[in-house]
Each structure stands twice: as C-alpha cells, then as structure tokens.
Structure 1
C-alpha cells in the first residue's frame, strides 16, 4: 500500500470533517474491499474512498480535493476501471439512487448510482425502455458517459444519444444543470467523452416505446460453430433495426466448447421467429430460451456475472464479416479465452450523432475475454486476443466502454474529437481535479 507524505495524510484525513458519507483511509477495516474495482485484475491504490451521501456531499468532496491539490475519481461500483485512479480520492456514488419515470414525457431522471436493470424494471410497466446493455448491474450514468452500446442501439443509437441533461458537480465544487442549450461544449463532452470533466450526479434521458419484446439465447455444441456462423451472417445481412443479434463462442473451464446466438427483437413473436428462421434449420440446440419477455428481463439472456471477478479483455470494431473473417474467427479453438463475442451493429449507430464518438459505421464489434489465473495464463490470454485481432479486418478504433487498462482515449476517438475533448478539459478542469478511468490527456 502506498504511503503518503505527512501533509497529504493530514489533508486526506480531514475528509471526515468535509463530507457526511463514509470515509475509508488506508489501514481502516474494509478499505481494501472498498477500493477494489469490478475487475479484480486491476489495482487501485487510492488515497481514500468516499461514499457520498448525496450530491451536496459530492460538491463538498470536490471543494476539499481542489483546496488540497488532490484528484477525485468517480466510480459507482468500478466497472470500466483501468488503474488510473491511483493516488486519487475514489468517489463511490452508489447512494445517489434517485429514479423518476415520467411516462407521458417518456423521460427518466436517473441518479449516478442507479443500475440499468432498475431503470428497466421501472420503465417496463409503462411499455417503455431505456437503452440497456448486456448486464443489468452496470450504472446507467457510467455507460452514458462512455457512449454506450445497447441491446437497442441498432434502433436508437448510442446510449449517450438519449441523454437530454446532466446534473453535475464542476471542478469548482459547484452543482450545475447542463443541457445542450446551457453549455453545448460541456454537454457534448459528457455525452460519451468519459468522466474527465465533472462528476455526474444524475442525468435525464429519453425512454423509448417497447410494447412488445422477443428475445433469448440459442446454444449449441461447439462443433456446430461453422453453420451457426453462416446463419448469423445471413440474419445480420438483412436485419431490420429492431433486431439485434450477437454470436458467442464459449469455452468455460471443465466444459466442452459451445456456440450461442443471443437475440432481441422490438416487436412481436411471429415476426421475430421469421427473421431468426435460419437458426431453426440448424442442428437441434442444447437449449433455446427465446420467448416473449419484458424489457426488465434482458439481463438473463447472456447471464453475465453479477459479482466482481478478475478478467482480461480486448475489443475491436470490424469493418466487415466476409468469408475470410468468418474463417479466421473459427480457425482455432478460442482457449485460453472464455468467450469471443461478435455483436451486430449498424442501423441507428450509423446515423449522425452529436457525441464525441460520432456515427459508428463499423458493422460488427468483437469482444474477447479471459481470466488471468496466473502470469502465464494472463500472457496466453493476451496473446490469443492479439493473434485473433491481427487476423481480422479491424478499423483501429474501439468503444470507450470496452477499452482495457493498456489502451487510451486515442483508441476510442478520432484526432479532431480528442483535441476537442482536451480543450473542454483545459477549460473546465485546468487543475486536474477529476481523473476518469480513461483520461482524455492519455
């Protein structure tokens, strides 16, 4: 554990008089558990952990950090952590849990600590949906600040595109309401540029109609991967924007390889089954969970872990999925990786977007994941990810929320957008009070 100079230790210790929420310092019981991110393979040797009681507590913390020459890193529960929070005050925003649904206006007001699954559960009875990702436990604010890929992105674009306002605490420790009209540059940066410009305490976002939803997973033995890949390519070649289909190559410890197709359709069952008919002409699956479902049940499709654990990931955006790319994906076993996921993009992602990412024109996203059980395994996982990426037609940029600790903002944004983000950082946080998971300066 890092030891701080005496004067810095005094400044950190005075946090307890500055905020009302719990403060944990190095050596305190529970400190090590509180500072850990979601990905337990990432180290966060922070100066302190503060669990803000409310937005006023966030403002008090920021004022204290500014006066003490310290930096603040905000994380609701540590998804997306990269290790760049070292030496900062780690701000947990889980208690900022306001959630208000306005069904008539199709709007939601969402606190920084609210997970996606809770928004979905509140919106579902009104026939509405947010833009949820694959996991129900990730915070809506964290996803939106990073742009955000959603099950319904093909129909509605980036998660950030749905945000209409932010409540923030700025680098002066002042609470502000930011919209495109009140502060267009800061609003632009917050909608997908990361958390490097302010602490978002809440956001307002548009909800979308979802009176009907069909979805689920079809799972086969891994030997059927070639024909499943062919069906996936046929389905995605002509898919309407309401249909989202992902392909997963899976190899869990102690089990045989498997291949899955995950799908959601914003519409009725008959139309969905017609669009997915190529899957029904394949070999009988091991399981098929497709059914009419509520938007609050989306997290069960991929059944991602809801507890922290170690992992090594790498993402790429593919410029095409031609015969050569499909062959490369299936040429060798994915081991020691646990999963290789291929997400169909396109649709609304390709349309104009006034966000740092802009339109997402690559038709597929690739996400590769493995567990670094020991140094040798970690090296093997990284090597397999690298070899697979080098065999595919990748564009060179990646979604911000998919970056790993070895990557930077330059991997997510084009040169012009990155320079614009840096200009916003210089204007609104010249002293570096805030340090995000992926700082725009590097």
Structure 2
C-alpha cells in the first residue's frame, strides 16, 4: 500500500495524518457523539487539490468522504480519507438570472447574506452553518421548501471531480443520470467542488419564535393544526416541544412567511387566542437572520437524532405526542411540509406526500443517557403513524440509504454508482452500496 505521506507531494492544502498532535481533533465530525475513525484528513485549497487527492486515493485503493464540517456524519469512515472542503468558499450571484455559483464549502448563512443584497434568497434550513452543497446532495429541507420544493430541485448544475480525477461540469443534458443522482442521492458518485442553483425573489420576510410554558402545549398544538390546515406555500410553521437542562418544559411555534407582516398575522390568527407567551420574537427580518429563529448551536456538539415522516396529525396523533413529557429528549419538532414539497420532483426521493416531518433530538452525554434517548425515540415513533421512509438528511448513524429510498430508486442509484465509481473511490455518509 502506498504511504499516506505521498498525499502531500501534489496536495497544496493541509493534511493531517495519524500521530499529528491535532489529528484526533480535526478528524471529528460536527456531531461529537459520532466516532469517526479515518486514515487521514485533507483540507483542499482548491478544486485542483481535490483532483490530486482523488488520483492518489484511486491509485492507493482508498476511499474519500467529503465533509465541510461533518454535519451528516455516520461514522462509516474506517480507513477513509476525510476531505474538508471549507476553503472552497467562492460565491458568485447573478441578480439578472437569479442564479448563484458557490463553492462546496459555502455555508447556508453566507449564501443568504450574498443573495439578500439583491433581495434574493436561497433555500436555507434552520442552521446557517450547514453547507449548501451537502444539503443539496441529500435533497434538502428548507424554510422555504413549501414554496420552492427540495433544495435539490433548485440545483441547475454541479462542478465535480470524477473517480478518475477529472474535472467535469454536470447538467441535466450533459449527464442526466449522474445529475439526477447528485440531486438528493448523497455523495457516493463524485466529489462536488461547486454548485449552481436557482435563487428566488424575496421582497419581504416575516419570522420568529413564540414560546409558552409546556402547560399550554395542547392549545398550542390545536392552533398549529388549524394554521397548517390552510397555510399557503409562503407560510412555514414548525412546532417544538422543548425541555432544556435546568429549565421548565416549554412549547414553541417557529414561523417564516415570505410576505408582509399583516398578511402573516392574519394567517397566524389562531395564535392570538392563546395565553400570553413567555416571549414572541416575530418581526420583519433580514433574509440572512433566519438562523436566529431556532438558535441552533453553531459550534460542534454531541447529539442523537431520529427523523420520521408523519402521515397525519389528527386527534389521535396529537394525543400521542402530548401523552408524556419528552424527557430525556431536548426537543421534539414537527415541521409542516406539503405545498411544493408534494409536487412532482425528478430527484431520488421524489415528492414528499406526507404532510408533516417529525424530528426527535437528545444528548447522549454517557452510555446510560444515550440508551434512554434511544428508548424514548423508539417508543414515540412506535405510537405514531409514520410512512416508513425519511429524507436522506434525517438519517442517523443506525440507519442506511434504504431507509430513505424505495427499492427501485436504490437499484438505480447503485447502477449509477457502479458506472461512475466502480472501485469505490467515493464514500458518502450513507452509501448506496453496503
């Protein structure tokens, strides 16, 4: 086997090898609860660095997994080279065509800031520090997905390095199969160095969080169900049951509306009949301040998540969700889907016909806490009508690509993998071939 030190001969970025003083730190993913054993870590300076690394890996019979920061890490990296793409951070916005070309390491918040200067928006999720390319490769749920669909549906081209170390520009007409796979099938097929995507006009944005004591959860959930029953695509509402360490349980409603405040308040009128909230941060807001709504951590931390798709949110489901306290979980989030999510999508996941997504999160601070969080997640899911599939970006380390895709789609993805990367140079967080 070739020496790992050979990587540095043609690689201008930084390389960390086992034995380096900070190797154990840089190999870790964003989720510190995931153990990530790797052979090396390489931070690319530019796309040519990516190509050089691919050629090395192919010649050495090794695999590469790309991670700007490792938000979706699964730990399936034994013997793998982790490629950090954070320095591929260019952003070019064309306000005339409403398109952006961004490097693979660009986080959502930076794209929002660049697009907002032109009163445009990308499709950001709840966290501003997750890479846009990583989200797109997994399909991508966004605050504005009810209006504009999957993040992947809005990608118009990819710049990649293929398994032979060649730079390529992938479009729907240039390589339809590969383009289809990259729009939501994960990172198993190529290393993406840049993404071109459609931006959208956003002349106004209203958003924020309303927070109550958990005692009001039944009334808040009832209002939430009434709002989401008739919500237009411009309105997105999430409900959160929260129990943070050292604090009393709470219930929150998170809102974004692509439109003026008076219109949003009319659509959210059922909230006005509820008891006075603890806080209400709703306001007209800049497009690049979306990350403040849920205030998710912006530094690495441990977590244990489970995502599902709910087929209904009727009275029986509402009762099951509120039957017991959520502890030891920190949060139980319900996201309203529908709208453009349910329309035809030429992507591996296809349309989201389920009306709601469920996301359960806890902190596995020690083995006992991890077991308790897992048991609570399993018990909750067992009591609910879930569809049995889930978005790729919701997968946790105990799951596989088969939990996201139908057998027919998985077969097609495996065929594309075989044609484009027969030797397994690339390994995604959740490989299509086990």
TM-score range, shorter chain: over 0.9
Superposed counterparts of 1:228-247, under 5 Å: 228-247=220-239
- The alignment status of 1:286 with 2:278, answered yes or no, reads yes
**Secondary structure in structure 2 of the residue aligned to 1:349:** helix
Mapped to 1, the partners of 2:108 and 2:157 lie a distance apart of 17
Deviation at 1:18?
Answer: 2.5
Deviation at 1:91?
Answer: 0.3
Pairing partner for 1:221 from 213, 216, 219? 213
Q: Which residue of 1 aligns with 2:33?
A: 41
Mapped to 1, the partners of 2:160 and 2:44 lie a distance apart of 14
- The alignment status of 1:347 with 2:347, answered yes or no, reads no
Deviation at 1:294?
Answer: 1.3
Q: Which residue of 2 aligns with 1:331?
A: 323
Deviation at 1:13?
Answer: 1.6
Q: Deviations over 1:340-388 (max 9, x none)?
A: 0000000000111000011110000000000011111110000000000
Mapped to 2, the partners of 1:44 and 1:14 lie a distance apart of 23
- The alignment status of 1:195 with 2:187, answered yes or no, reads yes
Q: Which residue of 1 aligns with 2:5?
A: 13
Deviation at 1:16?
Answer: 1.1
Q: Which residue of 2 aligns with 1:177?
A: 169
Q: Which residue of 2 aligns with 1:3?
A: none
- The alignment status of 1:374 with 2:366, answered yes or no, reads yes
CA RMSD of aligned residues (A): 0.6
Mapped to 2, the partners of 1:104 and 1:329 lie a distance apart of 46
Q: Deviations over 1:282-341 (max 9, x none)?
A: 000000000001111100000000000111100000000000000000000000000000
Deviation at 1:167?
Answer: 0.1
Pairing partner for 1:426 from 418, 422, 434? 418
Mapped to 2, the partners of 1:38 and 1:283 lie a distance apart of 38
TM-score normalised per structure 2: 0.99
Q: Which residue of 2 aligns with 1:24?
A: 16
Runs of 5+ unmatched residues, structure 2 = none
- The alignment status of 1:273 with 2:235, answered yes or no, reads no
Q: Deviations over 1:120-172 (max 9, x none)?
A: 00111211100000000000000000000000000000000000000000000
Runs of 5+ unmatched residues, structure 1 = 1-6
Alignment check: 8 A CA contact 1:85 1:436 kept: no
Q: How many residues end up aligned between the 2 structures?
A: 434
Pairing partner for 1:206 from 185, 191, 198? 198
**Secondary structure in structure 1 of the residue aligned to 2:3:** helix
- The alignment status of 1:67 with 2:59, answered yes or no, reads yes
Mapped to 2, the partners of 1:239 and 1:86 lie a distance apart of 46
Alignment check: 8 A CA contact 1:251 1:335 kept: yes
